[in-house]
Amino acid sequence: MAIKLQMLTEDPKEIELIERYWAVDESGQYLEKVSALGGIIEMAQGVSLASFIRQRCNAFDENQVCPKCAELIEIRNRSEAKKVPQRPSKFCTVCQEDQDAIALEAEKAKAAELERQLTEYVRKQSTRTVDYSEIPDNQVILLLALDRAITPRLTNGGFTVGDCRGLAPRYVADFVLQLREAGLVLDDPSKARPGTYYWEGDEIWMLREQVVYRLAPDAASKSAEEIIRGLLDRVYTDAEGIFNLWLDYSVADVMRYLGAQCELYNHDLSEQELEEIKSTMRSALEIYSVSQLWSVVWKVVRDAASLANREYYNRPKAAATIPGKIRRNLEKVQRESIELKAWSRPEQHPAGTLGMVLCEILGVDENTSGHMVSSLVTWFIGQASSPTAEAELDEPIRELMTVALAHDIGSSVMLRFAELIRAGHDVGFAIEEIGEALRS
């Protein structure tokens, strides 16, 4: 017999029924059908034969052995029995309980260790301070914009990335991460929801969107409000840092528009394609304005949509042409000095507080070309076009004006000049371009 029985009853009728229920032949087949055993003993309503028998007898399968203690495995009904010996895999009840207790103990220890490490982390964080008068310009602008996006939570308790939605059109988490990496905003595990920090193997991981941040304390123990007020008085000196922040922000403004357009036409771009477009746009923004690049996006996305409807094309194939089309489009514009049209800001796409702060400091918005922003930033921080750069323009400008006046074509020269500037070229290039055209 492959099933070992341990009777818990002494009633001979019940014992007989139990033995008949579990009886098997040499091949492991049950001798009687369950349905044939149904009427032998009267059972309370709702009680199945299997559970009636289980209450009166423990059954152990000789074909299943506990890998740990080599005892037989207890089975609850016929379907759990095996006809042939099994490779040990399942623990017996006693060993399983031991195992569970060990696992539970280990889990508790890990939870306690997590708690300990987070407390230690909070303790270390609280000793770290920042001298806000020393932080770079781009970080000052980001903090001012963040304060405006989540006021009063930056200075008054904690905030999550989700709270910062109003900061920028896209990549909000990346901007917050910039501040975190600079040590200006700190994680505050004591304020985060349970489960925000967890073990992944031997490392502590976190659910980024649940992390609660706060402003790092000031070295001179100023209150958070005082820190922000102090930042408002900043005298800016880092042209490159500010221009790069404007590029980061403007890329986000262009990419949000691209996202909305692609959604409209069901173009599904891969992460890699989006990264490619992002790089192209970032370098184009050194010349053009955000609103000019919106018009490029608008045209290319529509072209791809009409491509998708053509024979031998499908949506993924058409969408995959978008990064290349954007690049070629911009190359053509630059090669042929084409003036890009400027789109106006869609109503549902606000500039974000970072855009507003940049606008207040530099007077730039989505219609300001990258060339212009670069000049403005340089001028703004007092390194305005160095005397030598200006002196270099003196001669070609004098020459151009002389020729223009002599031929009485002053107005057409000025119109062409304005056109080139609007197309995103700088003054030097425009003068040279017109001069060459006049000479040929």
Binding residues for Zn ion (CB under 5 A): 66, 68-69, 71, 92, 95
CB 3 to Zn ion: min, Å = 18
Question: Closer to Zn ion at the Cβ: 65 or 431?
Answer: 65
How many CA within 13 A on the CB side of residue 266?
A: 9
Min CB(27)–Zn ion separation in Å: 28
Pick 100 or 113: Cβ nearer Zn ion: 100
Per-residue b/e over 150-159, b at no fewer than 16 CB within 10 Å?
A: beebbbeebb
Q: Tell me the CA distances in angstroms from 435 to 120, 191, 416, one per residue in order.
A: 68, 65, 11
- Give min distance, CB of 199 to Zn ion, in A: 29
Using alpha carbons, select from 213, 138, 146, 136 the residue that is nearest to residue 353. Answer: 146
Q: Of 19 and 62, which has the nearer Cβ to Zn ion?
A: 62
Least separation in angstroms between residue 69's CB and Zn ion is 3
Indicate the residue type of 239. Answer: A
In whole angstroms, give the CA distance from residue 320 to residue 51: 62
Nearer to Zn ion, 71 or 433 (CB): 71
Omega within 30 of 0 (cis) for the link into 323: no
Strands 57-65, 72-75: pairing kind: antiparallel
Residue 8 CB, nearest approach to Zn ion (Å): 21
Closest approach of Zn ion to the CB of residue 104, in Å: 18
Q: Judged by CB, which is closer to Zn ion: 73, or 296?
A: 73
Between 60 and 213, name the residue whose CB sits nearer to Zn ion: 60
Cα 273 to Cα 99, 323, 328, distances in angstroms:
49, 6, 15
Q: 3-state class of 111 per DSSP?
A: helix
Residue 51: CB minimum distance to Zn ion, A: 24
Count other Cβ atoms within 10 Å, centred on residue 231. 17
Shorter beta-carbon distance to Zn ion: residue 59 or 146 = 59
Dihedral angle computed from the Cα positions of residues 422, 428, 433 and 437, in that order, rounded to the nearest 10 degrees: 120
